[in-house]
Amino acid sequence: MLENNISEYLSKSGHKSLNVRAMLFDMDGVLFDSMPFHARSWHQAAGEFGLEISEAQAYMNEGRTGAGTINELAMKQWGREATEKEVEDIYKRKAEIFVACGNAEPMRGAAQLLDGIRKSGLKIVLVTGSGQRSLLDKLNHSYPGIFAPENMVTAFDVKYGKPNPEPYLMGLKKAGVKANEAVVVENAPLGVRAGVAAGIFTIAVNTGPLPDEALGKEGANVIFPSMQYFAEHWDEVSADFNKFSLQ
Ligand code: CA
């Protein structure tokens, strides 16, 4: 099902093969159905500090670190970067509202997909712009035994964050693999841009309200309609990866 997509990736990237050994997973909107809460809490928190961000814009900004999003808004609306204190205050308030939204549910299909990937013997690495302190607990609760601290890139590890390729390049390093030995799983336009810029085959899963076009124009190598769909087709996807690997 992915033969054409992989061929196109190889000709664009100049790699001769795709030897998938690791899967790099974004978190919000991929592993957890948390984006509606994030969008709402960004809209409310920024508004309290005089910055406007609609919920739709929050989806377009998804993937940036908190500081990245706040500075993006401040530059456009205040004509300057936010101070460190402003970043801290706004992000703290955003986190409070997010927590008050309650626990986001694991994304339907994600556990099944992770299980399939683990059985295929591939490494699983988390690459998120999130800086929530409770992140590992949350992951272990919903996906026991899949994620370990040494296989995670979070907001605390990066300087630039998505859409810069930096977080995914760090993910490759943590997995100990090269760009043509990994696959990125993303739901957000800026996350897709980061994965593509890192030279990695990037699967977009459209779990939110944006049109597929928003992901396609960032260079997604393939777009799946849901994590459930991806999970149900993992065997075929995995077989296609094997066709293009140098055994
Ligand atoms: Ca995401």
Q: Which amino acid is at 192?
A: V
pLDDT, tens only, 12-54? 999 999 999 999 999 999 999 999 999 999 999 999 999 999 9
The strand order across the sheet containing 182-186 reads: 152-153, 123-127, 22-25, 182-186, 201-205, 222-224
Would the pTM of this model clear 0.75, i.e. be above it?
yes
Residue 246 CA to ligand 1 center (angstroms) comes to: 31
Mean pLDDT (whole number) for 77-96: 97
Residue 6 CA to ligand 1 center (angstroms) comes to: 23
pLDDT, tens only, 133-171? 778 889 999 999 999 999 999 999 999 999 999 999 999
Whether the predicted pLDDT of 187 surpasses 80:
yes
Residues by chain with Cβ below 5 Å of ion ligand 1: 26, 28-29, 187-188
Residue 45 CA to ligand 1 center (angstroms) comes to: 19
Residue 76 CA to ligand 1 center (angstroms) comes to: 23
What pLDDT does residue 230 have? Answer: 98
Q: Tell me the pLDDT of the chain averaged across its residues.
A: 95
Residue 38 CA to ligand 1 center (angstroms) comes to: 10
Spatial CA neighbour of 200 closest among 172, 236, 228:
172
Confidence band of 68 (pLDDT split at 50, 70, 90): very high
Instruction: List, in order, residues 6 or more apart from 43 with CB less than 8 Å away.
Output: 53, 54, 55, 58
Question: Tokens 């919903």 belong to which residue?
Answer: 142
26 is catalytic: yes
pLDDT, tens only, 106-137? 999 999 999 999 999 999 999 998 887 778 88
CA angle 12, 233, 123 (to 5 degrees): 70
What pLDDT does residue 132 have? Answer: 77
What pLDDT does residue 193 have? Answer: 98
What pLDDT does residue 147 have? Answer: 95
235 is catalytic: no
Measured between its terminal Cα atoms, the distance across the chain in Å is 20
For 22, the enclosing helix (H) or strand (E) is strand 22-25
Map residue 223 onto helix, strand or coil. Answer: strand
Which burial class, exposed, middle or buried, applies to 168 when counting CB atoms under 10 A from its CB (0-12, 13-18, 19+)?
buried
What pLDDT does residue 247 have? Answer: 57
